[in-house]
A and B are shown apart, each in its own frame.
Chain A
């Protein structure tokens, strides 16, 4: 399955819903999306990864890059993920220390208030 990306506005947050596989093949699309959002002034992002079926180190790199970009504008990037196979990747790499990870979009949005 390819990568699917949709965005919606929730107050001053932009929710990016990602589905499919984030690998070396599709990660550039996600990177472009995050760059476009930050360029357009969206500095508070919630990336919903519940529909993600595969995530590799390239995808992790794109998320880290996105986090750096929003932080440069005092923004935030929160992840929504409850899938164990995806969470495991964040745990192994220690990136659970870098990303706030939430169980739902609602939780992510209320955590940033």
Chain B
């Protein structure tokens, strides 16, 4: 088992650093290149969400990231210091609201055929890091990218932990195929 822990001040500028560290740790844990992008996006969104929550609730608190590679899985847990439900958009089935529903883009039933853009907010307001999209979008994106996502209260009751797990054992096969394809292509 190998674990890397990272704690950083709730500043948007550190999100990129956290993302790159996670990708580097994942690479060392044997995650193939093709999956690193997804891990980078998911960890970046989780860290960005935690930064935004902490900036609102407890700006002096650090965002905590724990990365663990063990037994063919790679797990990243990102913890904030917010209130229950901060920047989480629950769906009707008890899970998360999907991104299209969150953005009110309509899925064909509830919304009459119209311009889906009118449902989206503008980006004039300086809100969450200047985003034009609702704060739940980060988790919705994570849920779309990662098969295994868990959102829990922290053990001490303060804050939320977003835990994402990738099955690296499955990826090893696809990664080898990717490497072979690359090796067979003289252009690379």
Q: Which residues of A contact B (CB under 8 A)?
A: 21, 23-25, 27-28, 31, 54-58, 60-62, 64-65, 67-69, 71, 85, 88-89, 92-95, 97-98
B100 within 8 A of A: yes
A94–B106 alpha-carbon span in the complex (Å): 9
Q: In the complex, how many angstroms separate the beta carbon of B128 from the nearest chain A beta carbon?
A: 9
**Are A98 and B105 in contact, CB atoms less than 8 angstroms apart?**
yes
Q: Is the CB of B99 within 8 A of A24?
A: no
Which B-chain residue is minimally distant from A86 (CB atoms)? B37
Q: What A residues does B120 contact at CB under 8 A?
A: 64, 68, 98
Is B180 at the interface (CB under 8 A from chain A)? no
Given contacts A57-B48, A92-B145, contact A21 B131 (CB under 8 A): no
Binding site secondary structure of chain B:
helix
Answer whether residue B15 sits at the interface, using C-beta atoms and an 8 A cutoff.
yes
Query: What secondary structure prevails in chain A residues at the interface with B?
Result: helix
Most buried by B among A23, A54, A85, A94: A94
Is A85 a contact partner of B130 (Cβ separation < 8 A)? no
B: interface residue count bin: 35 or more
Query: What's the least CB distance linking B167 to chain A, in Å?
Result: 18
Whether B144 and A92, one on each chain, are in contact in the complex, defined by CB atoms closer than 8 angstroms, is yes
Cα–Cα distance between A54 and B20 once the two chains are bound (Å): 12
Q: Which residues of A contact B15 (CB under 8 A)?
A: 23-25
A98 contacts B117, CB within 8 Å? yes
Residues of B within 8 A of A85 (CB): 37-38
User: Do residues A68 and B129 form an inter-chain contact, with CB atoms below 8 A?
Assistant: no
Q: B69 on the interface (CB 8 Å rule)?
A: no
Chain A residue nearest to B38 (CB atoms) is A85
Q: Are A24 and B123 in contact (CB under 8 A)?
A: no
Q: Which of B12, B130, B145 contacts A61 (CB 8 A)?
A: B130
Whole-angstrom distance between the Cβ of A79 and the nearest chain B Cβ: 14
Of the candidates A67, A93, A98, the one whose C-beta lies within 8 Å of that of B140 is: A93
Please, how many angstroms separate the alpha-carbon atoms of A54 and B16 in the complex?
11
Nearest CB of B to A44, in Å: 16
A selection of 14 A-B contacts at a CB cut-off of 8 Å is A25-B15, A57-B48, A57-B133, A58-B129, A58-B131, A61-B132, A64-B123, A65-B132, A68-B122, A92-B140, A92-B141, A93-B137, A94-B103, A94-B105
